[in-house]
């Protein structure tokens, strides 16, 4: 057809709903329906979380003293952060903690989930046992682990000496070993929590795929890597993102176990923010540090987001 004819045809009758307009109407409908699903949660979220968070971000550019004074000072807080030795230490400690904690927790909780994802007798008891650290009082956890890690009397060092280490680490009393000790306790505490999430995810792995693979002669490892893991991808993404953010934000366990010490060897970013705000009343500065924590999390999350998207089929 030549364009002339097309024009005639177009002029002769009112154009039927062109594909483009149909698509845009569909999109509008999709948008409206999508929003209707999101709205109940989003309204509450926007008002009660988003607004205070935006306020916080605004305050990071001021010299807010929490009592109404909030004069704009631009990037002064952020410049001060860059030169602040304690801030640098807290960021390094947070990264150090996270780099150790995240892979360890994933491996242990996934292992637990795989181990306990069966119908053996009494398995419910073991799953509950795995969850107990998460629901035990954090004070009790801190005390018992402090005792276990006691350099002279604690069982851990006694065992280490028994198997030949003459100078076992000072754990929570030494600035080099305090953070690894905290990581161990933190992983012990979190594994039940993430085990539950992995358990839920493992239910989406279709059993016939496993059967088919077994029939094809695949062993346990091959089945794990080629069937279980790919099916677990959405759950793994969720766990990784949540674990990362929670690791960057770690606060209460450190507060109770070491309070940032000895010295500043376990000072983490959340604690730095809390100190600056509630102990030294520099709320504008603390807000800037909170923005820094947020940026750190967001950058890593975005990287994980794209990594996840890329691997989707």
Give me the 7-26 binding string for another protein, x by CB under 8 A, dash otherwise. --------------------
In 91-156, which ranges are E strands? none
Q: Do 233 and 312 touch, CB atoms closer than 8 A?
A: yes
Structure tokens at 56: 């916080």
Structure tokens at 287: 């807000």
Taking the least distance from each CB to another protein, the nearer of 7 and 24 is 24
Taking the complex as a whole, the smallest distance from the CB of residue 252 to another protein amounts, in Å, to: 9
Taking the complex as a whole, the smallest distance from the CB of residue 209 to another protein amounts, in Å, to: 7
For residue 187, the tally of other CB atoms under 10 A from its CB is: 21
Taking the complex as a whole, the smallest distance from the CB of residue 197 to another protein amounts, in Å, to: 6
Who's near 173: CB < 8 A, 6+ residues apart? 151, 262
Between residue 92 and residue 111, which ones bind another protein under the rule CB under 8 A?
Answer: none
Q: Is 200 in the site for another protein (CB under 8 A)?
A: yes
Taking the complex as a whole, the smallest distance from the CB of residue 75 to another protein amounts, in Å, to: 18
- Pick one of 184, 228, 248, 254: the residue that binds another protein (CB under 8 A): 248
Angle between helices 283-310 and 76-83 (to 10 degrees): 80
Helices (H) and strands (E) in the chain, counts: 16, 0
Between residue 205 and residue 244, which ones bind another protein under the rule CB under 8 A?
Answer: 206-209, 211, 231, 234-235, 237-238, 241-242
Taking the least distance from each CB to another protein, the nearer of 100 and 198 is 198
Between residue 144 and residue 183, which ones bind another protein under the rule CB under 8 A?
Answer: 144-147, 149-154, 170, 172-175
Taking the complex as a whole, the smallest distance from the CB of residue 86 to another protein amounts, in Å, to: 6
Cα Dmax for the chain: 97
Q: Do 65 and 284 touch, CB atoms closer than 8 A?
A: yes
> How far from chain centre, in Å, is Cα 282?
27
- Pick one of 78, 96, 224, 294: the residue that binds another protein (CB under 8 A): 294
Between residue 30 and residue 89, which ones bind another protein under the rule CB under 8 A?
Answer: 30-31, 33-38, 40-56, 58-59, 65-70, 83-86
- Report the alpha-carbon distance of residue 268 to residue 220 in Å, rounded: 40
Which span sits near another protein by CB under 8 A: 13-21, 95-103, 158-166, 247-255? 247-255
Burial grade of 179 (CB within 10 A; 0-12, 13-18, 19 or more): buried
Choose among 161, 194, 157: nearest CA to 177: 157
Between residue 114 and residue 143, which ones bind another protein under the rule CB under 8 A?
Answer: 115, 117, 119-120, 124-137, 139-141, 143
Taking the complex as a whole, the smallest distance from the CB of residue 261 to another protein amounts, in Å, to: 4
Between residue 265 and residue 284, which ones bind another protein under the rule CB under 8 A?
Answer: 265, 270, 273-275, 277-281, 283
> How far from chain centre, in Å, is Cα 280?
28
Burial grade of 186 (CB within 10 A; 0-12, 13-18, 19 or more): buried
Taking the least distance from each CB to another protein, the nearer of 100 and 288 is 288
Taking the least distance from each CB to another protein, the nearer of 6 and 225 is 225
Taking the complex as a whole, the smallest distance from the CB of residue 170 to another protein amounts, in Å, to: 7
Taking the complex as a whole, the smallest distance from the CB of residue 4 to another protein amounts, in Å, to: 37
Who's near 208: CB < 8 A, 6+ residues apart? none
Structure tokens at 128: 């509950």
């Amino acid at each position: 057809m030549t364009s002339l004819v097309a024009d005639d045809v177009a002029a002769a009758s009112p154009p039927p709903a062109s594909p483009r307009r149909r698509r845009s109407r569909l999109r509008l409908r999709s948008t409206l329906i999508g929003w209707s699903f999101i709205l109940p949660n989003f309204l509450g979220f926007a008002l009660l979380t988003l607004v205070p968070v935006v306020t916080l971000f605004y305050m990071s550019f001021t010299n807010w003293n929490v009592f109404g004074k909030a004069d704009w000072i631009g990037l002064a807080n952020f410049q001060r952060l860059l030169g602040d030795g304690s801030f640098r230490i807290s960021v390094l400690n947070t990264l150090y903690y996270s780099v150790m904690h995240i892979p360890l927790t994933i491996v242990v909780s996934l292992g637990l989930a795989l181990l306990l994802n069966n119908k053996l007798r009494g398995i419910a008891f073991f799953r509950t046992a795995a969850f107990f650290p998460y629901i035990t009082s954090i004070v009790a956890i801190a005390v018992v682990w402090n005792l276990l890690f006691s350099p002279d009397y604690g069982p851990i060092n006694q065992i280490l000496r028994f198997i030949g280490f003459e100078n076992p680490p000072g754990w929570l009393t030494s600035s080099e070993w305090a953070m690894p000790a905290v990581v161990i306790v933190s992983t012990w505490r979190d594994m039940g929590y993430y085990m539950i999430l992995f358990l839920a995810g493992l239910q989406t792995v279709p059993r016939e795929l496993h059967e088919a693979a077994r029939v094809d002669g695949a062993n346990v490892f091959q089945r794990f890597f080629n069937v279980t893991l790919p099916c677990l991808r959405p759950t793994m993404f969720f766990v990784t993102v949540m674990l990362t953010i929670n690791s960057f934000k770690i606060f209460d366990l450190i507060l109770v176990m070491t309070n940032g010490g000895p010295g500043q060897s376990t000072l983490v970013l959340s604690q730095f923010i809390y100190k600056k705000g509630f102990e030294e009343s520099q709320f504008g500065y603390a807000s800037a540090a909170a923005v820094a924590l947020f940026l750190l999390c967001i950058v890593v999350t975005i990287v994980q987001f794209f990594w996840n998207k890329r691997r989707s089929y």
